[in-house]
Amino acid sequence: MGDRSGLQAASQLFWKQGCTMMFKDVADFCICVSMTRRGLRLGMAKVTQVDFPPKEMVSYSKETQTPTDTQTHTQARPEEEEDEEELAEAKPAEDSQEKKADQEEKQEEAPPKELTEEEKMHLLHSDEFLTFFDRGSRIVERALSERVDVCFDYSGRDLEDKEGEMQAGAKMSLNRTFSDERWSKNRVVTCLDWSPQYPELLVASYNNNEDVPHEPDGVALVWNMKYKKTTPEYTFHCQHPVYCVNVVGTQNAHNLISISTDGKMCSWSLDMLSQPQDCLELVFKQSKAVAVTSMAFPLGDVNNFVVGSEDGSVYTACRHGSKAGISDVFEGHHGPVTGLSCHSAGGPVDFSHLFISASFDWTVKLWTTKSTRPLYSFEDSCDYVYDVMWSPTHPALFACVDGSGRLDLWNLNNDTEVPSASVVVDGSTALNRVRWSHSGREIATGDSDGQVLVYDVGEPICVPKPDEWSRLVHTLMEINENRDEGDELAAQRLVA
């Protein structure tokens, strides 16, 4: 007998008027019993058994595969010449013909292969289904959002500009806005970070949503820049609001450092998050606990760090060694320090002693660890400055955000009086966080309404030229001179 490939051995047996029952036999022979209106017909049909149950090995022959499921096939078979080879395409057509031919056959189309509602519900609640659905829906959503038409015909059609393309020479243009109706609306963005491993991934943490008290207080969402879908890749939530975390160290020896307003700094091992590895009380002059609001580690340093506090002072400190704890105090701000950033753009000259701080006093101040007085104060803002960050690639460039929704880019080598680029975010929200991507070409900022906005920065602004480092040396010298002059003048005025 010819090859009857593609038949699924029925593990369920059905007796129905006009249906065919198949017994699975060890010897690969199937006894077909077909009961039609014409009466009982018995026939031997040798069947090449091909199984597609989930956990078994898929076996197949090199011959043409014919479709698997419905039992109409088996019904059709005894009625035809058994040597006939049927191609897959022909089968469905034949099927429908068979269907039309025999009334009873129609019945079996759906029911024998259908599951009861109960069985379906059971499946839909199973773990495997949920795992499958989580992954499958994510992939499908990404695919759906891509609107690339590879068959597009350009002749006779106008070319439309794609969204997101930057006009040449534009300083900063909005690339993406990330916001989720359920998880990010009405929450403040408390922290942002770009993934070092996958540059298109960005994680944002949010505090609690006051309007919805029964939803979890702390939410972290992972957003993907690569695909156009507007929903987060992953969602995490926890009971307490998330404020800030920092991972220091190398890939093999790293710690999670957390710091809070009670002056305690804890370092945690990522393997054991139930207890900190060690704690450090940050006290200034043996008595005053420092209420820490922000923290920064210089590039490559895991021991020394700077913290900003509620009282407007910045402190340097170290984690280990005989002088563990607070070392120096830098006074200058008149309000709580909201953000700190240590210089990180590597280059021919080392500027890692520089750091900048943002504060409620409307200013951003430039400091060096070598002096406890600020080097310079940037006073262009008219609202609380909430965050500041050096560019990871350009030595003289930094970004700051304030409560009026303004994102400013300052280039020390261009102008220290006014920002080199500025953009105001639509809507009356305050910008709470700013984070450069690792490439230094994009900036992510989070606002008080749960939105994360990603801006592309124009090349002329964010890409450093080779002489930026030496120019910065000159700029710093000038700043230093001005500061000393200013001090002298102030001293003279006091005397006079």
Partner 1 sequence: MAEVEETLKRIQSQKGVQGIIIVNAEGIPIKTTLDNSSTVQYAGLIHQSVMKARSTVRDIDPQNDLTFLRIRSKKNEIMIAPDKDYFLIVIQNPSD
Helix, strand, coil percentages in the chain from 3-state DSSP, rounded to 5: 20, 30, 50
In whole angstroms, the minimum distance from the beta carbon of 232 to partner 1 comes to 12
The first and second tokens of residue 234, run together, are 């992953």
Using the minimum distance from each CB to partner 1, give the nearer residue, 139 or 273. Answer: 139
Is 55 or 285 the residue whose CB approaches partner 1 more closely? 55
Query: Which residue in 374, 368, 365, 292 sits closest to 326, CA to CA?
Result: 292
Q: Could you tell me which stretch among 128-136, 214-222, 245-253, 339-347 binds partner 1 (CB under 8 A)?
A: 128-136
Q: How far apart are CA 333 and CA 359, in angstroms?
A: 7
CB-neighbour burial class of residue 229 (10 A; exposed 0-12, middle 13-18, buried 19+): middle
Stretch that binds partner 1, among 68-76, 77-85, 273-281, 300-308 (CB under 8 A): 68-76
Does 115 bind partner 1 (CB under 8 A)? Our answer is yes
Q: Which one of 134-142, 381-389, 406-414, 474-482 is the stretch in contact with partner 1 (CB under 8 A)?
A: 134-142
Assess 158 for contact with partner 1 (CB under 8 A): no
Cβ 37 vs Cβ 104: under 8 Å:
yes
State how far the Cα of 314 lies from the Cα of 82, in Å rounded to an integer. Answer: 89
Cβ–Cβ under 8 Å, residues 351 and 395:
yes
Q: Does 234 bind partner 1 (CB under 8 A)?
A: no
Radius of gyration of the chain (CA): 34
Contact code string over 276-315 relative to partner 1, x by CB under 8 A: ----------------------------------------
Cβ proximity of 28 and 46 under 8 Å = yes
Structure tokens at 483: 């500061």
Q: Name the residue nearer to partner 1 (CB basis): 99 or 264.
A: 99
Residue among 65 and 195 whose Cβ is closer to partner 1: 65
Instruction: Report the alpha-carbon distance of residue 128 to residue 347 in Å, rounded.
Output: 51
Q: Is 137 in the site for partner 1 (CB under 8 A)?
A: yes
Q: Which one, 121 or 489, has the nearer CB to partner 1?
A: 121
> By CB under 8 A, is residue 90 in contact with partner 1?
no
Does the protein bind partner 1 through residue 238 (CB under 8 A)?
A: no
Q: Is the dihedral of CA 219, 338, 403, 390 positive or negative?
A: negative
Q: Is residue 151 involved in binding partner 1 (CB under 8 A)?
A: yes
Task: Return the number of the residue (43 or 53) whose C-beta is nearest partner 1.
Answer: 53
| Beta-carbon contacts of residue 442 (< 8 Å; ≥ 6 apart) | 175, 225, 436, 454, 455, 456, 457
Q: How far is the CB of 19 from partner 1 (least distance, A)?
A: 17
Q: Please say which residue, 4 or 394, places its beta carbon nearer to partner 1.
A: 4
Report the site for partner 1 in 29-58 (rule: CB under 8 A).
Answer: 52-54, 58
Where does this chain touch partner 1 (CB under 8 A) — which range of 132-140, 208-216, 281-289, 314-322?
Answer: 132-140
Q: In angstroms, give the least distance from the CB of 108 to partner 1.
A: 12
Give me 86's structure tokens: 């049927």
The three-class DSSP label of residue 308 is: strand
Task: Give me the amino acid identity at 218.
Answer: G
Residue 140 near partner 1 by CB under 8 A: yes
**Secondary structure (3-state) at 485:** helix
> Contact between 13 and partner 1 (CB under 8 A)?
no
In the block, residue with structure tokens 């189309």:
109
How many Å apart are CA 48 and CA 85, to the nearest integer? Answer: 13
Residue with Cβ nearer partner 1 (228 or 438): 228
Q: Is 92 in the site for partner 1 (CB under 8 A)?
A: yes
Binding region for partner 1 (CB under 8 A): 8, 52-54, 58, 60, 65, 67-70, 88, 92, 109-110, 113-115, 120, 123-125, 128-130, 132-133, 135-137, 139-141, 143-145, 147, 149-151, 231
